[in-house]
């Protein structure tokens, strides 16, 4: 594995964070409680993926199943309204620890 100079690595990180999608990531974190609603926001955490997908971590398997089966279309539409249909094409729910 080739080692990269620290300056190059830091430069790449800064570019990714300042890119428009980096801005979208911070907006998603700020707006998630409104998008998810009060019932779900405390049990979920969302992040943008690299493939126009939003990944939602859910702290309970039953709730993750309910979200994926019953609430996915509404949440996807809210995300698309907020960020654009071309920026969010899918939403996926996974069970895991919220960070």
pLDDT digits (tens, 9 = 90+) for 52-93: 899 999 999 999 999 999 999 999 999 999 988 988 999 999
3-state secondary structure of 11: helix
Tokens 């790449």 label which residue? 12
The token pair that represents 30 in the structure block: 């700020």
Q: Which is the CATH superfamily of the domain at 6-95?
A: DnaA, N-terminal domain (3.30.300.180)
pTM: 0.73
Q: Where are the domains of the chain?
A: 6-95
Higher-confidence position of 21 and 35? 35
Mean per-residue pLDDT, 33-37: 92
List the alpha helices (DSSP H) in 1-99: 6-18, 20-36, 38-41, 61-66, 72-83
* Residues contacting residue 26 through CB under 8 Å, at least 6 positions apart: none
């Amino acid at each position: 594995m080739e080692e990269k100079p620290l300056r190059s690595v830091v430069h790449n990180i800064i570019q990714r964070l300042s890119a428009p999608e980096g801005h979208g990531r911070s907006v998603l974190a700020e707006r998630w409680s409104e998008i998810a609603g009060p019932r779900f926001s405390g049990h979920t955490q969302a992040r943008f993926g690299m493939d126009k997908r939003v990944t939602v971590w859910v702290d309970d398997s039953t709730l993750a199943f309910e979200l994926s089966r019953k609430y996915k279309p509404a949440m996807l539409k809210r995300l698309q309204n907020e960020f654009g249909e071309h920026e969010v094409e899918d939403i996926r729910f996974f069970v895991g620890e919220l960070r």
